[in-house]
């Protein structure tokens, strides 16, 4: 718990991070609002997308075998991975069988989730991230801090400095110039790479199509040229029909980046390209646990647009790295009990004010605020016993203080007295309880509300003049 609190304090005290997040998230929110205004009804679009995802999650046991059958029938290899270790092992085996020395990887949250880059490197395969944001954080040896914008925590000047120092790109703070420089530097990599790894936004059970969206074209370049293409996807990404995929695409780009659609939308047919081998690795890694967890099953409807992070006031203040794992923001809090590492499951649920902004912007209607409350309850079994004991003591004390007139009056009087005669000790106690680490608790008013209300009732009431 103290580790996360220290990280929060560190991020709140970082003016460069605050400026980068405020600027980037402000731009994305403005573009999203403009893009959604083009729809006849955002509510209707959310209802349609929500229905598609709800049906897909409910029918996973039907859709997944249908998808596998369609892919295998057209020559694509389908592999299943129960957890992160098995997913990495199977991709590493593919690389070894094909003597892959260099791999180009486009943006994939599942690959990041299972630690695929590190596993391939440990096996002797050089991995080059081809997405601009992913390339920046790879060179900086950082984790992505956002689902759709991996280096959102960095200013353009910081990005330029990293690219200049680590890869020799001409020093600049112009985003367009930096993008072109990185594209030129990566061009030989695409021709030399023996394997391309990508994710998949959706997989269509009926037709076997794999749907990938991107803005830079690096993913398309990778899987078009490489003789081996590996698709790593979570099992929840399957949808029923091409029409269902189209319904989701109508809200994905608008919610993620404020675009009607991304610059590149690829519908890969189930058969590989001529001369290419394609492998689809379908990853569980806790998703079945979420499916079996009653109301928490709704988290599997997520389409990884990142809109909840863009709207979250906590994320805007502390950034993605504070959450301690692959998925930050509200969706990261809800996924953590099932997919997250053990060390974050007991703490991450506290990074929420329960304002409900995430639920309002979710394009597939996930009730994130309600699920976060449930996730908080689940997180207690992962907390240190001393922390749980301290929280229970504090809550029991609060219940007694607020549970009756006498207790409330006594606590009010005691709080006022402590604030006047021992303010420093009161401050230390607030910090110890977790309330005052980054803010000052308000001091109680001189009079109780009940006292002020009684005084007001005793005052003569003014009678308005008649006509």
DSSP string of 159-216, one letter each residue: HHHHHHHHH-PPP---HHHHHHHHHHHHHHHHHH-SEEEE--SEEETTT--EEEEESS
Q: Grade residue 427 by pLDDT with cuts at 50, 70 and 90.
A: confident
Distance (Å, whole) CA 17 – CA 31: 21
Q: In 3D, which of 368, 254, 255, 353 has the Cα closest to residue 313?
A: 353
Token readout for 111 is 């690959």
Q: Grade residue 387 by pLDDT with cuts at 50, 70 and 90.
A: low
Q: What's the confidence (pLDDT) of residue 95?
A: 98
Q: Grade residue 383 by pLDDT with cuts at 50, 70 and 90.
A: low
Q: What's the confidence (pLDDT) of residue 451?
A: 74
Q: In 3D, which of 361, 347, 340, 64 has the Cα closest to residue 206?
A: 64
Distance (Å, whole) CA 332 – CA 323: 8
Q: Grade residue 284 by pLDDT with cuts at 50, 70 and 90.
A: very high
What topology does CATH give the domain 63-290? Rossmann fold (3.40.50)
Distance (Å, whole) CA 154 – CA 14: 12
Distance (Å, whole) CA 240 – CA 56: 6
- Give the rounded percent of residues in the chain with a pLDDT score beyond 70: 92
- Judged against a pLDDT cut of 60, whether residue 463 lies above it is answered with no
- Sign for the CA dihedral angle at 384, 385, 386, 390 comes to positive
Q: In 3D, which of 123, 62, 116 has the Cα closest to residue 231?
A: 116
**Residue spans per domain, the chain:** 63-290, 385-458
- Judged against a pLDDT cut of 60, whether residue 445 lies above it is answered with yes
Q: What's the confidence (pLDDT) of residue 9?
A: 86
Contacts of 102 (CB under 8 A, 6+ apart): 125, 126, 128, 189, 192, 193, 194, 195
Q: Which of 321-325, 401-405, 418-422 has the highest mean pLDDT?
A: 321-325
Tell me what the mean pLDDT of segment 403-429 comes to. 78
- Judged against a pLDDT cut of 90, whether residue 462 lies above it is answered with no
Distance (Å, whole) CA 286 – CA 291: 9
* pLDDT tens-digit readout, 77-120: 999 999 999 999 999 999 999 999 999 999 999 999 999 999 99
Contacts of 203 (CB under 8 A, 6+ apart): 67, 209, 210, 211, 233, 237, 238, 239, 280
Q: Grade residue 318 by pLDDT with cuts at 50, 70 and 90.
A: very high
Asked which of 226-230, 263-267, 283-287, 434-438 is least confident by mean pLDDT, the reply is 434-438
CB 205 within 8 A of CB 174: no
Contacts of 1 (CB under 8 A, 6+ apart): 346, 347, 383, 384, 387, 434
* Reported pTM: 0.86
- Judged against a pLDDT cut of 90, whether residue 187 lies above it is answered with yes
Q: What's the confidence (pLDDT) of residue 439?
A: 63
Where do runs of H (alpha helix) occur along 258-384? 287-291, 307-311, 313-318, 329-339, 342-345, 357-361, 368-379
Residues shown for the chain:
467
Q: Which of 76-85, 384-393, 400-409 has the highest mean pLDDT?
A: 76-85
Q: In 3D, which of 302, 298, 335, 330 has the Cα closest to residue 316?
A: 330
- Judged against a pLDDT cut of 90, whether residue 467 lies above it is answered with no
CA angle 264, 56, 331 (to 5 degrees): 70
Axis-axis angle for helices 218-225, 175-192 (nearest 10): 10
- Judged against a pLDDT cut of 60, whether residue 241 lies above it is answered with yes
Q: Grade residue 346 by pLDDT with cuts at 50, 70 and 90.
A: confident
Q: What's the confidence (pLDDT) of residue 435?
A: 58
CB 341 within 8 A of CB 165: no
- Judged against a pLDDT cut of 60, whether residue 1 lies above it is answered with no
- Judged against a pLDDT cut of 80, whether residue 144 lies above it is answered with yes
- Judged against a pLDDT cut of 90, whether residue 369 lies above it is answered with yes
Q: What's the confidence (pLDDT) of residue 248?
A: 98
Q: Grade residue 45 by pLDDT with cuts at 50, 70 and 90.
A: very high
203 DSSP β-pair partners: 210, 238
Higher pLDDT, 12 or 233: 233
Q: Grade residue 197 by pLDDT with cuts at 50, 70 and 90.
A: very high
């Amino acid at each position: 718990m103290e580790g996360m609190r220290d990280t929060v304090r560190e991020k709140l005290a970082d003016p460069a991070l605050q400026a980068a997040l405020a600027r980037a998230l402000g731009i994305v929110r403005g573009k999203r609002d403009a893009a959604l205004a083009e729809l006849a009804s955002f509510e209707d679009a959310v209802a349609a997308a929500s229905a598609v995802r709800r049906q897909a999650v409910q029918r996973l046991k039907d859709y997944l075998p249908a998808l596998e059958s369609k892919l295998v029938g057209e020559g694509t290899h389908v592999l299943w991975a129960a957890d992160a270790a098995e997913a990495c092992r199977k991709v590493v085996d593919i690389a070894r069988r094909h003597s892959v020395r260099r791999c180009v990887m486009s943006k994939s949250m599942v690959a990041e989730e299972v630690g695929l880059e590190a596993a391939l490197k440990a096996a002797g395969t050089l991995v080059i991230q081809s997405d601009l944001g992913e390339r920046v954080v790879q060179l900086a040896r950082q984790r992505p801090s956002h689902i759709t914008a991996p280096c959102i925590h960095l200013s353009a000047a910081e990005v330029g400095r990293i690219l200049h120092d680590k890869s020799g790109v001409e020093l600049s703070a112009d985003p367009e110039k930096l993008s072109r420089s990185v594209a030129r530097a990566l061009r030989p990599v695409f021709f030399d790479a023996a394997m391309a790894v990508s994710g998949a936004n959706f997989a269509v059970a009926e037709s076997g199509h794999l749907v990938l969206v991107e803005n830079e074209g690096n993913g398309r370049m990778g899987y078009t040229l490489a003789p081996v293409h590996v698709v790593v996807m979570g099992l929840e990404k399957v949808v029923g029909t091409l029409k269902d995929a189209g319904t989701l695409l109508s809200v994905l780009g608008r919610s993620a980046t404020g675009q009607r659609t991304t610059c590149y939308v690829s519908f890969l047919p189930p058969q590989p390209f001529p001369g290419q081998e394609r492998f689809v690795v379908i990853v569980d890694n806790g998703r079945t646990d979420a499916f079996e967890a009653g109301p928490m099953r709704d988290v599997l409807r997520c389409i990884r647009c990142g809109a909840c992070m863009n709207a979250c006031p906590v994320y805007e203040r502390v950034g993605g790295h504070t959450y301690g794992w692959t998925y930050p923001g509200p969706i990261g809090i809800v996924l953590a009990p099932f997919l997250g590492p053990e060390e974050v499951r007991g703490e991450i649920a506290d990074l929420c004010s329960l304002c409900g902004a995430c639920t309002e912007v979710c394009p597939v209607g996930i009730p994130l605020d309600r699920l976060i409350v449930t996730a908080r309850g689940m997180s207690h079994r992962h907390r240190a016993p001393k922390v749980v004991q301290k929280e229970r003591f504090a809550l029991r004390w609060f219940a007694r203080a607020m549970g009756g007139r006498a207790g409330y009056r006594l606590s009010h009087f005691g709080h006022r007295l402590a604030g006047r005669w021992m303010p420093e000790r009161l401050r230390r106690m607030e910090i110890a309880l977790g309330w005052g680490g980054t803010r000052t608790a308000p001091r109680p008013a001189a009079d109780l509300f009940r006292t002020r209300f009684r005084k007001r009732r005793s005052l003569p009431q003014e009678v308005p003049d008649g006509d």
